[in-house]
């Protein structure tokens, strides 16, 4: 028999640390973004105007799934709207429950929410990779609980399949991709000795949790010299708005054994960096940059190539290079995957009913006359952290 425990205090998550770690290890697509450690750092920095609602699903007393949710208000063209959504803000490409059986976990969570007092107008789940790791579990859970929903395309992420040899991968790249990479290697080798340093400690459980702040500060130095130093997006590792968030997340991921830091040195000088998470063989590429004062001869291309080569040699499975900046990634990725947004409108909510009708009418007109992809809409103007610029 299943039951649900609801947590509102971020520190209360510590009581379920072992269950969370156990479940994350067997969750399809279970990246560091779904970890307790990441959520606690995220909440420390971005909890303003949000309320935590983490649902712990148990079966006969054993924790079988976790659904991290938060309550917040967003703007729509019809007025303010209260939603339950993932505490995520597009920091990565995909999100979802922590469970090997995501459908059953979501069903239990939905059943609990439908039978509890409602302080929300919508259940608004974003960044769901329906065709991949989710495998349709979200849709089936909504359907099983007889909850009518709307589905919208949210974003597109790019993947690199790492379950092949470097030689096989490179041979399958377009000719121009191979040429630009080999040119970068040749030009930089002519300028000095190249060293690729990859720091991926296994975490506290293995006695490997030194944050190596000297390496991290090299990344910050490179970022400040790169385009990131003058960026106004507010999402780079040196930007005042998020600098401490990146540092705290880095330290937390190191302790969890989920960080993947890469540096390229040219003649001993730090020249390029990549800030990534790694969990269960899945790598999330977050930020990278190079110092043009050291060289402008393809440092970024060399860095990506060295990371991919090393990842394939060590047995990693997949690199998610994120969304956006398609031109910069077009020679590297092997597949493009959609993420989706699922919205359930509470029939007890006046604005929920208005939004449901508005979205359905707008989708009908677009599908019939515009020929655009079904479901895309702009009625809900959520103030997202613009973190999808990788």
The percent of residues in the chain predicted with pLDDT above 90, rounded, is: 83
Q: At 2, is the pLDDT very low, low, confident or very high (cuts 50, 70, 90)? A: confident
* Residue 150 CA from chain centroid, whole number: 22
Confidence of residue 387 (pLDDT cuts 50, 70, 90): very low
**Position with higher pLDDT, 144 vs 365:** 144
Instruction: Give the pLDDT score at 370.
Output: 59
Pick the residue with more confidence: 226 or 85?
A: 85
Per-residue confidence (pLDDT) for residue 383, from 0 to 100: 40
Distance in angstroms between the alpha carbons of the first and the last residue of the chain: 43
pLDDT digits (tens, 9 = 90+) for 35-91: 999 999 999 999 999 999 999 999 999 999 999 999 999 998 899 999 999 999 999
Tokens 């508005």 map to which residue? 358
> Which pLDDT score is estimated for 379?
54
d(CA 214, CA 193): 21
Q: 263-273 pLDDT, tens per residue? A: 999 999 999 99
**CB atoms near residue 26 (< 10 Å):** 12
DSSP code of 203? B
Domains 2-156+337-381 and 163-316 share a fold: yes
Rounded Cα gap, residues 161 and 335, in angstroms = 8
- Summarised one tens digit per residue, pLDDT across range 345-385 is 999 999 999 999 988 887 777 777 755 444 444 455 444 33
Kindly list the domain boundaries of the chain, sorted by start residue. Answer: 2-156+337-381, 163-316
Strands (E), the chain: 2-7, 50-59, 62-76, 79-85, 122-128, 149-161, 194-199, 259-266, 269-279, 282-290, 318-320, 335-345, 380-381
pLDDT at residue 325, rounded to an integer: 82
pLDDT category, 389, cuts 50, 70, 90?
A: very low
pLDDT confidence of residue 376: 44
Candidates 13, 1, 21, 119; CA nearest to 68 is 13
Which candidate, 280, 277, 369, 356, places its Cα nearest to that of 316?
280
Exposure b/e, 36-54, CB count within 10 A at least 16 = b:
bbbbebbbeebeeeeebbb
Owner of token pair 């997006």: 233
> What pLDDT sits at residue 246?
96
CATH topology of domain 2-156+337-381: Aminopeptidase (3.40.630)
CATH superfamily of 163-316: Gcn5-related N-acetyltransferase (GNAT) (3.40.630.30)
* Per-residue model confidence as pLDDT tens digits over 281-291: 999 999 999 99
**Mean pLDDT rounded to a whole number for the chain:** 92
């Amino acid at each position: 028999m299943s039951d649900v425990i609801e947590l509102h205090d971020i520190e209360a998550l510590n009581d379920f640390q072992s269950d969370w770690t156990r479940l994350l290890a067997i969750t399809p697509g279970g990246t560091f973004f779904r970890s307790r450690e990441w959520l606690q750092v995220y909440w420390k920095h971005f909890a303003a105007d949000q309320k935590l609602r983490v649902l712990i699903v148990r079966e006969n007393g054993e924790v079988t799934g976790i659904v991290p949710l938060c309550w917040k208000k967003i703007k729509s063209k019809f007025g303010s709207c209260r939603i339950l959504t993932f505490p995520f803000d597009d920091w990565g490409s995909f999100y979802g429950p922590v469970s090997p059986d995501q459908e059953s976990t979501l069903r239990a969570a939905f059943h609990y929410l439908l039978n509890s007092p409602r302080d929300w107008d919508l259940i608004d789940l974003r960044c769901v990779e329906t065709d991949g790791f989710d495998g349709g579990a979200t849709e089936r859970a909504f359907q099983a609980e007889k909850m009518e929903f709307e589905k919208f395309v949210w974003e597109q992420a790019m993947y690199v399949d790492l379950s092949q040899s470097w030689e096989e991968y490179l041979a399958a790249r377009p000719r121009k991709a191979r040429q630009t990479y080999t040119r970068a290697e040749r030009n930089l080798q002519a300028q000095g000795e190249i060293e690729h340093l990859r720091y991926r400690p296994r975490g506290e459980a293995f006695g490997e949790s030194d944050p190596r702040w000297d390496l991290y500060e090299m990344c910050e130095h490179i970022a400040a010299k790169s385009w990131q130093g003058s960026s106004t997006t507010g999402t780079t590792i040196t930007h005042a708005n998020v600098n401490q968030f990146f540092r705290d997340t880095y330290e937390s991921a190191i302790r969890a054994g989920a960080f993947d830091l890469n540096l390229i040195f040219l003649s001993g000088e730090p020249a390029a960096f990549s800030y990534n998470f790694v969990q269960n063989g899945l790598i999330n590429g977050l930020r990278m940059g190079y110092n043009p004062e050291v060289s402008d001869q393809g440092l970024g291309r060399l860095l990506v190539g060295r990371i991919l080569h090393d990842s394939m040699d060590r047995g990693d499975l997949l690199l998610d290079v994120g969304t956006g900046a398609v031109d910069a990634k077009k020679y590297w990725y092997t597949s493009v995957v959609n993420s989706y947004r699922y919205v359930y409108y509470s029939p007890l909510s006046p604005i929920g009913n208005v939004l449901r009708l508005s979205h359905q009418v707008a989708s009908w007109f677009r599908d019939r006359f515009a020929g655009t992809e079904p479901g895309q809409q702009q009625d809900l103007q959520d103030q997202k952290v613009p973190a999808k610029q990788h």
